[in-house]
């Protein structure tokens, strides 16, 4: 299973989901879906924008959790 650690990066950057939404041009609803792990896919352009806004690497946001089944 792939975990999305967007909440961790937001906390580290002291940034709200609303502020991130404005910076990357992705709706708050879509970021919420991503943050809660309910997204089925992430576009590379979205991942690029997130990394740019959060000044991080894709591996800081995405984590592979072996042995965990998807819900």
Q: What pLDDT was estimated at residue 67? A: 81
Instruction: Write down the pLDDT at residue 68.
Output: 66
Domains plus CATH for the chain? Answer: 2-64 (1.10.260.40)
- For the chain, the first-to-last Cα distance in angstroms comes to 9
CA distance 22 to 27: 8
The pLDDT assigned to 71 comes to 53
What averages of pLDDT result for each successive group of 10 residues across the chain (71 residues)? 94 96 96 93 96 97 83 53
Q: Say what the pLDDT of residue 33 is.
A: 95
* CA dist., res. 68 & res. 49, Å (int): 28
**What's the whole-model pTM score?**
0.88
């Amino acid at each position: 299973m792939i975990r999305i650690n967007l909440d961790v990066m937001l906390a580290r950057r002291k940034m709200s989901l609303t502020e991130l939404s404005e910076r990357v041009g992705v709706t708050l609803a879509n970021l919420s879906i991503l943050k809660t792990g309910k997204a089925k896919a992430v576009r590379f352009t979205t991942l690029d924008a997130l990394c740019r806004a959060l000044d991080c690497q894709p591996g800081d946001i995405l984590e592979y959790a072996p042995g965990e089944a998807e819900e």
